[in-house]
Amino acid sequence: MFKRVFVVGVGLIGSSIAIDLKQRKLAEEVIGYDNSLKNLNKAKSLGIIDRKAKLEEINRCDLVIVSVPVLSIPSVLLSIFPMLKKGAYILDVGSVKGYVVESVKDKIPSGIDYVPLHPVAGREASGPESARKNLFEGHTVIITPIKNERWKKIEDLIEAVGATPIYMDYRLHDELFAISSHLPHILSFANVNLLREMNVDNIKFLVGTGFRDFTRIAKSSEEIWADIVIANKSYVLKAMERLLEGWVEVKKAISCDDRAKLISLWREARLFKEKLDG
């Protein structure tokens, strides 16, 4: 599908994409670049990339995938844009789109295709050693065009790794993920810190599966998630305010022994969750 692919950032997502490109024979060559020499060497030693690349080689690539921390994506894109050959595709796979799109939309050179997208898949682990083949199998990849662009070749690529492409306005995307992804991470980190502050001996043997399930994502990289919530701070803060309103409502019901109110609120939540899980 592509002759040469250049992956900027060989962490979990970038490396997982590289694995699928190689194993599914979607690229003749996959080369990697990363500011972390440790990550780059690991990706090469694991066979995730064919070889380490110099940045200037980017002008000979048909597809460039930018998979770096979200606050760094705009500067990386802007530095790369002038280096790309005509007809090249450049993708960013950050989980916040508005921050990136608004930063670069007026500076995209003619003759290249910039495709902002978000693979809705991942793990709480990070780094190339955490990468997995078929990570995107059965998942959705959201494409958030600046205008009304459509990219058939990128849709085909997404489907070729087993995922489903969906187009969405980048503002709606960020509002949705503030609620469905960013807020849960904030809550998970906060809940773990609350337990940590109790300072109870042998606490690891005393917590139940509910706590473990809810806080699994608290093992995610704090550096990555600090970038994400800052990049999407407008929608994240709105989501936190809405949650606080609901929190106060539940707190009031508990303080008033209003069992019927609690049952009503939680029944609605349970039914919607069952619908979500299909």
Domain with CATH 1.10.3660.10 in the chain: 172-277
Which run of H or of E encompasses 166? strand 164-167
* The pair of three-digit structure tokens given for residue 127, joined into one six-digit string: 């780094």
Q: The whole model's pTM is what?
A: 0.91
Query: By the 8 A CB rule, do 95 and 70 touch?
Result: yes
What is 2-168's CATH number?
A: 3.40.50.720
Which run of H or of E encompasses 243? helix 233-255
| CA-based end-to-end distance of the chain | 34
Mean pLDDT across the stretch 230-248?
98
Count Cβ neighbours within 10 Å for each residue of 56-90 and write b for 16 or more, e otherwise.
Answer: eebeebbbbbbbbbbbbbbebbeebbebbeeebbb
pLDDT digits (tens, 9 = 90+) for 119-154: 998 777 778 988 889 999 999 999 999 998 999 999
Residue 211 pLDDT more than 80? yes
Pick the CATH number of 172-277 from 1.10.3720.10, 1.10.3660.10, 3.40.50.720, 3.30.465.10: 1.10.3660.10
